[in-house]
Structure 1
Amino acid sequence: MSKTNYQVLKHEVELLRLPKLYDSCVVKYIDFAEHEHFGYLFLQLCEYNLEEHIRNNDGILRPEKLVHDVLDGLRALHCQGPQILHRDLKPQNVLIDVNGRARLADFGISRRLPKNQTTYHTRSAGTEGWMATETLKEDGDIRYKSSTDIQVAGMLIYFILSGGHHPFGGERYKLMSNIKKGKYKLEHVQDVVAKDLIEKMIDKEPKNRPRVEECLSHPFFWTSTKKVQYLRQVGNMKEVASRTNVNQELILMLDECAEGVLYNQWKTKFSPDLLLRADDKKKPYPENILGLLRFMRNLQEHYPDDAASVDLTSLFPHLFGCVYKFTIRQGWNLENPLKEMFKPEKTGGANRHEVEPINDEEHVGLAVQESEHTFTEPTADAKSSIGRI
Structure 2
Amino acid sequence: MDMCRGLCSMTAILLVLTPHVTSSDTNNMRIATSAKLFIGNGSASQRHNTTETTPVTETTPTTTEELTREQVILIIALQISLTCFFFVGLLVCCCLCYCCGEYDDCEEGREGCRDRFSDCCENCFSRCVCKCDAEATLMVACVQSEPVYVISVHLPDGQSVRMSVKGTDKVRVIKTKVNNIVNLPLCYLNVYHGLIPSESDSLDEDRTFMDYGIYFGTDSVFTVTYGLHKILVQFADDSHEEQFWNPLLTVEDLVNMIYLKLQAAHKDMILIKAQRKGRDTLRTLVESDKKTPLYRLHKIKVSVSFQVVLKIIGQNTQKSAKVFPTDTVDALAKNFVRAVIFIYEGTQLGSDKKLKDYGLQEGSVVTLDWSVKVYVTRGGQIYKYSLLASKVVGTLKQILAVDTDIHLFEQHLSFHGNVLSDDKMFAEYLTSKMEGKMVIILTSQPWRVPVLLPTGTLIDYQVSPNNNVAFLKKQIEADADIPVSRQILQIGQNDLADDGLLCDSIVTSSSVIYLKEQIALKYSANWTPVSARWRSLFEELLQVSDGNLKEVNNVCFSTKIDRFKIGSGNKTEVLLGIRHDGREVAVKRFPRSMSQNFKNEKGLLTTLDSPNIIRYLDIAMDDEFLYLILELGEFTLNEFISTDEYKQNQGSISRDLVGHILESLRTLHTGHNVIHMDIKPHNVLIDISNRAKLSDFGISVVLPDNQSTFYTTAKGTYHWVAKEILDSATGKAKYKKNADIQVAGMLVYYTLTGGIHPFMPSGEADVFLCNKKVQDGKHDLSALDDIVGKHLVAWMLQPDPELRPTIEEALAHPFFWNVDMRYRFLGALGDEKEVKESWKQQPHSVALTLDRLTVSVFNTVPHWKDLLDQAVYNGVAKPRKNGYRSTICELLRFMRNVDVHLKDQPPAIQANVGNPMTYFTARLPFDELFLKVYKTVKDTRSSADDWTVRGSLKEYFKA
Into which bin does the TM-score normalised by the smaller protein fall?
0.7 to 0.9
Counterpart of 2:605, as a letter, is L
Residue 39 of structure 1: CA displacement?
Answer: 1.6
- Whole-angstrom distance in 2 between the partners of 1:117 and 1:330: 33
- Whole-angstrom distance in 1 between the partners of 2:701 and 2:894: 53
Residue 104 (str. 1) matches residue 694 (str. 2): yes
Per-residue CA shift, 1:115-159, capped at 9, x if unaligned? 221110101000011000000124321110100100000010111
State the partner residue of 2:592: 3
Equivalences, count:
340
Counterpart of 2:897, as a letter, is N
State the partner residue of 1:292: 891
Counterpart of 2:792, as a letter, is L
State the partner residue of 1:337: 947
- Alpha-carbon contact 1:267-1:275 (below 8 Å) kept: no
State the partner residue of 1:232: 827
Task: Give unmatched runs, 5+ long, in structure 2.
Answer: 1-589
State the partner residue of 2:772: 177
Residues 108, 326 of structure 1: alpha-carbon distance in 2 compared, 3 angstrom cutoff: same
Alignment of 1:91-240 (within 5 A): 91-136=681-726, 137-169=728-760, 171-235=766-830, 236=832, 238=834
Residue 22 (str. 1) matches residue 609 (str. 2): yes
SS in 2 for 1:108: coil
Query: Between Structure 1 and Structure 2, which shows a larger proportion of helix residues?
Result: 1
SS in 1 for 2:892: helix
SS in 1 for 2:788: helix
Counterpart of 2:593, as a letter, is T
Residues 42, 328 of structure 1: alpha-carbon distance in 2 compared, 3 angstrom cutoff: same
* More displaced stretch, 288-297 vs 45-54: 288-297
Residues 125, 330 of structure 1: alpha-carbon distance in 2 compared, 3 angstrom cutoff: same
State the partner residue of 1:380: none
2:625 to 38, 52, 57: 38
1:254 to 841, 854, 857: 854
Sequence identity percentage: 33
- Whole-angstrom distance in 2 between the partners of 1:305 and 1:70: 46
State the partner residue of 2:655: 64
* More displaced stretch, 231-240 vs 56-65: 231-240
- Whole-angstrom distance in 2 between the partners of 1:23 and 1:304: 47
Residues 221, 119 of structure 1: alpha-carbon distance in 2 compared, 3 angstrom cutoff: same
- Whole-angstrom distance in 1 between the partners of 2:635 and 2:915: 40
Residue 86 of structure 1: CA displacement?
Answer: 0.3
SS in 2 for 1:40: strand
SS in 1 for 2:671: coil
SS in 2 for 1:150: helix
SS in 1 for 2:679: coil
Residues 331, 226 of structure 1: alpha-carbon distance in 2 compared, 3 angstrom cutoff: closer
- Alpha-carbon contact 2:713-2:729 (below 8 Å) kept: no
Residues 300, 315 of structure 1: alpha-carbon distance in 2 compared, 3 angstrom cutoff: closer
Higher relative contact order (CA 8 A, sep 6+): 1
Residue 263 of structure 1: CA displacement?
Answer: 4.0
Task: Give unmatched runs, 5+ long, in structure 1.
Answer: 346-389
- Whole-angstrom distance in 2 between the partners of 1:175 and 1:121: 24
Residue 324 (str. 1) matches residue 931 (str. 2): yes
Residue 239 of structure 1: CA displacement?
Answer: 5.5
Residue 343 of structure 1: CA displacement?
Answer: 3.5
1:312 to 886, 905, 917: 917
Residues 203, 212 of structure 1: alpha-carbon distance in 2 compared, 3 angstrom cutoff: same
- Whole-angstrom distance in 1 between the partners of 2:800 and 2:890: 39
- Whole-angstrom distance in 2 between the partners of 1:176 and 1:329: 34
Residue 242 of structure 1: CA displacement?
Answer: 3.2
Counterpart of 1:298, as a letter, is N
- Whole-angstrom distance in 2 between the partners of 1:244 and 1:40: 72
- Whole-angstrom distance in 2 between the partners of 1:80 and 1:336: 29
Residues 301, 241 of structure 1: alpha-carbon distance in 2 compared, 3 angstrom cutoff: farther
- Whole-angstrom distance in 2 between the partners of 1:321 and 1:38: 55
- Alpha-carbon contact 1:265-1:287 (below 8 Å) kept: no
Residues 42, 263 of structure 1: alpha-carbon distance in 2 compared, 3 angstrom cutoff: farther
- Alpha-carbon contact 1:2-1:39 (below 8 Å) kept: yes
Residues 260, 284 of structure 1: alpha-carbon distance in 2 compared, 3 angstrom cutoff: closer
SS in 1 for 2:739: helix
Structure with bigger gyration radius: 2
User: TM-score normalized by structure 2?
Assistant: 0.33
2:838 to 242, 245, 253: 242
* More displaced stretch, 29-38 vs 206-215: 29-38
Residue 294 of structure 1: CA displacement?
Answer: 1.1
Superposition RMSD on alpha carbons, in Å? 3.3
